[in-house]
Structure 1
Amino acid sequence: MIVATLSGPGVRLRGLAPRDVDDLVAGYADPVLQRFMPPLPVPFTHAQAREYVRDVAPGMFADGGGLWAIADPLTDRLLGGIGLDKVVPHRGQCEVGYWVGPWARGRGVAVAAVRTLTEHAFHTGMARIELLTHRENAPSQRVALAAGFRPEGVRRGVLPNRDGGRDDLLAYARLAGDEPGPTERLLPDLPGGELTDGVVTVRPLTSDDADFYAELHHLPEVVATAVPPIAPTAEDVVRRCAWAAAHWLAGERADMVITDAATGRNAGEIGLYYQEPRTGQAMIGYSMLRGWRERGFATRATQLVSLWAFAETGVARLIAGALPANLASQRVLEKAGFKREAYLRSRLPGGDGRRSDDVQYALLAEDLLADVVRLDG
């Protein structure tokens, strides 16, 4: 079978060949691929790789899809693989999947390959291409967005896993008529990966922060201000940290850790929740470990995140709330420039079936700009 060779920026898509067997085995031995490709046999042997090249790949073309090697255009070395599967001809619909070996990551290989293959698929009659990825697989979500795919929701229990259960997957799709270029993000990355004023640093929450997150969110006073006021389970903690990047990429919220700039020690957390993109309104919330309170860290972090939100996103108005008895949190907001706007009765679910009042504050972009101008003057 003759496989069409496709060229893209920094990649060449061609048929798999016997010379790819060693790299195929090395790539499939990667723990990341094994985690997010549960149908993959573990271990994946040279004999299985030869069968894959000889029988499996050609069979995908026979079924109306296709499987290409992602190769280096200069050396022809295997960098990864990409394929079209689950083809529904009468709908003009299929699914794209891909992998990149550890030796080729960080070079834009996956994005270039996905763009090249999807354009080829559109030119050969496809109208809609789906891309499914685990919520924990933020690099794959970045590829989807950079290749112009748009998020469409969650496919529940769509993929059998190695434990006998079924995994949810995030669904992305690109249509033949979509505008070219990457999908716009509501919440961009922090410039340089963090925000700092030299005293505090704010960085994204990651799966490595689970122990810190559990410690913080099991403090009684932190639980009392949570909505609802219930301590998270161990599973909740792991999920919150592991899914933080996905929520950020989806433009839903930016979960961050506040650290001491001098030592790098974790001091607290702060989050920006983009609950009203259409009106340009987002909400800020924060919590601090006991040893770091009353040192101005929460105020500094709130100012840093507010400046980033107004400068880098479509946010025009930030809101924050505090329980009436939480005077410390109210002082943080006032020092950060927020103005008290309302006292909302029984707004929040409380303990024992009761409800709690909420003191509402807001900060506008022009207010923060006026403060900066006044300080500069």
Structure 2
Amino acid sequence: MLIGSSPAPGPPSTPDVTLRRWCADDLDDLVDAYRDPVLRHWTSHPVTNAAEARRWLKGTQRDRADGRRYTFAVVEEQADGARLVGNVVLKGVTPQRPAPEVGYWTASWARGRGVAPRAVTALSRWAFDRFPEVTRLDLLHQVDNVASCRVAQKCGFVFQEVLPARPPFPLDGHRHALHA
């Protein structure tokens, strides 16, 4: 049984960026974002071509349908229209998991402008509103990912512990927590 029987609030929102469902029109932007070697380094499932992007997009739809994972494209309005600037995801929304996990990535062209903290904060607020029984969210990252540590801190996630390395992650990790 999945948690979250309350009516769903609207999509996450934040000033300056919009969080929305991924769609087929995002395919080219998704492949472009994953051309970045930094993003590929930190992700366990890189998207390197259109076929992989289609599978990734279908996976986000399937995961949302079973109610255990909610993935949002992060877009920013620019003079020439909206542009993809990142991704946020709420993972493991099940009664068996003590706290769902928040994940994210930021496209190379949007880094250093506060996109990730704004998007993660919006997703976190949405998660607590959407799932009132969830009282804690976790944000995990590998110990050498200093940028993710800074994002966690900016969003109010407090460092909890060092986690031992486990595949596919070769190094220990940090667990940060945010309480409702």
TM, length-normalised to structure 2: 0.85
CA distance in 2, matches of 1:138, 1:147: 14
Structure 2 residue runs without a partner (length 5+): 1-7
Q: How many residues align?
A: 168
1:29–1:4 CA distance, 2 compared to 1 (3 A): farther
Alpha-carbon deviation of 1:123? 1.1
CA distance in 1, matches of 2:142, 2:96: 28
Pair 1:152-2:156 in alignment: no
Name the SS of the counterpart of 1:160 in structure 2.
Answer: coil
Alpha-carbon deviation of 1:28? 1.3
Name the SS of the counterpart of 2:28 in structure 1.
Answer: helix
Alpha-carbon deviation of 1:120? 0.7
Aligned residue among 143, 156, 168 for 2:172: 168
Residue matched to 1:60: 63
Aligned residue among 14, 18, 27 for 1:21: 27
Alpha-carbon deviation of 1:50? 1.7
Does the Cα contact within 8 Å between 1:111 and 1:146 map onto a contact in 2? yes
Residue matched to 1:45: 49
Aligned residue among 120, 143, 147 for 2:126: 120
Alpha-carbon deviation of 1:10? 1.5
Give the share of equivalent positions with the same residue, in percent: 36
Residue matched to 2:37: 31
Name the SS of the counterpart of 1:139 in structure 2.
Answer: helix
CA distance in 2, matches of 1:174, 1:158: 23
Does the Cα contact within 8 Å between 1:4 and 1:14 map onto a contact in 2? no
CA distance in 2, matches of 1:16, 1:167: 30
Following TM superposition, where does structure 1 have runs of at least 4 consecutive aligned residues deviating by more than 6 angstroms? none
Alpha-carbon deviation of 1:107? 1.1
Pair 1:77-2:83 in alignment: yes
Does the Cα contact within 8 Å between 2:12 and 2:125 map onto a contact in 1? no
CA distance in 1, matches of 2:98, 2:161: 21
TM, length-normalised to structure 1: 0.42
Name the SS of the counterpart of 2:171 in structure 1.
Answer: strand
CA distance in 1, matches of 2:127, 2:179: 11
* Structure 1 counterpart of 2:136, one-letter code: R
Pair 1:131-2:139 in alignment: yes
Alpha-carbon deviation of 1:4? 4.5
Does the Cα contact within 8 Å between 1:93 and 1:128 map onto a contact in 2? yes
1:117–1:110 CA distance, 2 compared to 1 (3 A): same
1:95–1:135 CA distance, 2 compared to 1 (3 A): same
- CA distances 1:303-344 after superposition (whole Å, capped 9, x unpaired): xxxxxxxxxxxxxxxxxxxxxxxxxxxxxxxxxxxxxxxxxx
Aligned residue runs from structure 1 range 85-104, under 5 A: 85-89=91-95, 93-104=99-110
Name the SS of the counterpart of 2:177 in structure 1.
Answer: strand
Taking CA–CA contacts closer than 8 Å with sequence separation of 6 or more, which of the two structures ends up with the larger relative contact order?
2
CA distance in 2, matches of 1:138, 1:174: 18
Name the SS of the counterpart of 2:48 in structure 1.
Answer: coil
Give me the CA root mean square deviation.
Answer: 2.0
- CA distances 1:291-314 after superposition (whole Å, capped 9, x unpaired): xxxxxxxxxxxxxxxxxxxxxxxx
Structure 1 residue runs without a partner (length 5+): 177-377
CA distance in 1, matches of 2:167, 2:148: 16
Q: Which has the higher Rg, Structure 1 or Structure 2?
A: 1
Alpha-carbon deviation of 1:130? 0.3
